[in-house]
Each structure stands twice: as structure tokens, then as C-alpha cells.
């Protein structure tokens, strides 16, 4: 079954522990943590000290989305802070192949993200090396944006390519994911959905359960 990765960026920053426990108990699989540097993306979110502090309060898989220029500089630190899965942007790495190897050397799983306007072909040669590809469905930097429709086609193309190569790479989608477009995304071939505002706005526990009902229904 698909995995739900609630994005911490959408949580109540005054009560992170409470929100994390709620989504964990409701059945979320990953906790998506957005690290931003104010350079690769316009905004600044949080960094290693916050990731490390939260590590103690949950058993959720820490899926750290590095929206940072040359993230290779932080691979070791983010792993030490508690990341299980480290995701770097293809657009932010001068030597992507080397960054992926360095992530694996820390013992973490490695993912590569691509912005909406970056073609799927940008990750073609690296596909056998990565555990997951993240298709950004908004321009990264902020929560609560609208899903960009043409990215759905990128999910289909990538799933097709992964099949062709006989791989079982996870395909994650991040940005503007809602209860209304989740089914379509799964059908296109995504199997890890990030959701910030659509989980944490309203009743987070209830929202997670609704997502999981859709996942159950569209089980492949």
C-alpha cells in the first residue's frame, strides 16, 4: 500500500510533538521534514537541531527533503540528526552521482527531487542508484500552494520508465496533494504522497485516516 508522509511544515510549530504523535497514531508512515536554506528556495524553514530534537519523540521514518544548494555539505549532519531518507534536488547538486553515493555511505536511503519544470529525463541515468524520486508538484519553498497539473504526466512517465528498467523505485509527490487528487496520483504511479496543509488543517488524525482509506481503495 502507498505511504503517507505528512509534511511538518504544515504542523502547529507550537505543538510539534503533539501533531507528530497524532499523525503517527493515525497510521502515517513517514514524517516529511523540509529543510530550506533561503538560497535554493526563497524561504528558510528549520535545520538539523529541530530534526534532532524531534527524533526522540517518534518512530516515524524521517524523510528529509533538502531544499538547499549543494546539500552534499550537510549529508553527514542530517544523517546524524536522525534522517532515514535524505532527498536532494537534482538542480542543487553539481555532482549528483557523488552526493547519492555519499548519502548511501551514511547508511541512509537516498532520493532525488526534481522541480516542476525539470524533465523526468534529468534523473534517468541515476535511477538505478536511488531509492526514491520526488516529483515536485509545486515550485518548492512554501506549503499550501496549488498542485501544478502537468506534473501528473511526469509521474506517469517516470513510473513507465521505472518499469521498463525493471526497478521498483519509490515515486513521491510533494506539493498541493489533497484528498481530491490523491487517487489520481496513485493511479499515475506515485506510491509516497507528501501532504502538509491537507493533513494539518482541521483534524490531522481524521485527515490521515481519510488518506489511508483512499490508499486502501486504490491498492495495487
Of 34, 63, 131, 170, the active-site residue reads: 34
Would you call 19 a catalytic residue per the annotation?
Answer: no
Say which entry of ligand DX5, Zn ion, none residue 46 contacts (CB below 5 to 8 A, set by partner kind): none
Q: How far is the CB of 166 from Zn ion (least distance, A)?
A: 28
- Write 157-165 long-range contacts (CB < 8 A, 24+): 157/120, 158/120, 158/123, 158/133, 158/189, 159/188, 159/189, 159/190, 160/189, 161/120, 161/124, 161/127, 162/127, 162/189, 165/127, 165/128
Between residues 189 and 196, which has the closer beta carbon with respect to ligand DX5?
A: 196
Binding site for ligand DX5 (CB under 6 A): 7, 9-10, 32, 34, 65, 138, 140-145, 174-177, 194-198
Q: How far is the CB of 171 from ligand DX5 (least distance, A)?
A: 15
Q: What is the largest CA-CA distance in the chain?
A: 46
Site for Zn ion in 36-95 (CB under 5 A): 65
Instruction: Please choose, out of 73-81, 171-179, 185-193, 208-216, the segment that lies near Zn ion by the rule CB under 5 A.
Output: 171-179
Residue linked to cell 485527515: 207
Q: How far is the CB of 7 from Zn ion (least distance, A)?
A: 6
Q: Tell me the C-alpha to C-alpha distance, in Å, between residue 21 and each of 4, 43, 73, 130, 187.
A: 14, 26, 31, 29, 29
Among 85, 174, 189, 211, binds Zn ion (CB under 5 A): 174
Among 19, 34, 131, 170, binds Zn ion (CB under 5 A): 34
Nearest one of 159, 161, 153, 157 to 137, comparing CA atoms: 153
Q: How far is the CB of 177 from ligand DX5 (least distance, A)?
A: 5
Between residues 167 and 178, which has the closer beta carbon with respect to ligand DX5?
A: 178
Between residues 135 and 188, which has the closer beta carbon with respect to ligand DX5?
A: 135
Beta bridge partners of 170: 132
Q: How far is the CB of 136 from ligand DX5 (least distance, A)?
A: 7
Cβ burial of 197 (10 Å; 0-12, 13-18, 19+) is middle
Would you call 34 a catalytic residue per the annotation?
Answer: yes
Residues with Cβ within 8 Å of 65's Cβ and at least 6 positions away in sequence, in order, are 32, 33, 34, 35, 87, 113, 134, 174, 194
Residue showing the smallest CB distance to ligand DX5 in the complex: 196
Of 84, 124, 174, 180, the active-site residue reads: 174
Instruction: Give the Cα separation of 56 and 48 in Å (integer).
Output: 13
List, by residue number, the catalytic residues: 34, 174
Amino acid at each position: 500500500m502507498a505511504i503517507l508522509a505528512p509534511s511538518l511544515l504544515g504542523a502547529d510549530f507550537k505543538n510539534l510533538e503533539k501533531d507528530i504523535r497524532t499523525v503517527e497514531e493515525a497510521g502515517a508512515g513517514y514524517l516529511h521534514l523540509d529543510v530550506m536554506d533561503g538560497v535554493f528556495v526563497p524561504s528558510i524553514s528549520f535545520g538539523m537541531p529541530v530534526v534532532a530534537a524531534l527524533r526522540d519523540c517518534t518512530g516515524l521514518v524521517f524523510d528529509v527533503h533538502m531544499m538547499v544548494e549543494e546539500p552534499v555539505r550537510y549529508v553527514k549532519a542530517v544523517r546524524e540528526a536522525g534522517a532515514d531518507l535524505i532527498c536532494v534536488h537534482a538542480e542543487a547538486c553539481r555532482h549528483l552521482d557523488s552526493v547519492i553515493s555519499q548519502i548511501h555511505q551514511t547508511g541512509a536511503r537516498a532520493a532525488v527531487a526534481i522541480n516542476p519544470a525539470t524533465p523526468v529525463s534529468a534523473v534517468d541515468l541515476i535511477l538505478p542508484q536511488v531509492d526514491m524520486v520526488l516529483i515536485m508538484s509545486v515550485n518548492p519553498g512554501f506549503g499550501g500552494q496549488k498542485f501544478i497539473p502537468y506534473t501528473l504526466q511526469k509521474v506517469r512517465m517516470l513510473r513507465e520508465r521505472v518499469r521498463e528498467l525493471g526497478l521498483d523505485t519509490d515515486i513521491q509527490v510533494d506539493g498541493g496533494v489533497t484528498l481530491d487528487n490523491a487517487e489520481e496520483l496513485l493511479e499515475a504511479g506515485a506510491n509516497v504522497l507528501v501532504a502538509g496543509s491537507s493533513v494539518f488543517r482541521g483534524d490531522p488524525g481524521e485527515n490521515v485516516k481519510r488518506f489511508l482509506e483512499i490508499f486502501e481503495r486504490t491498492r495495487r
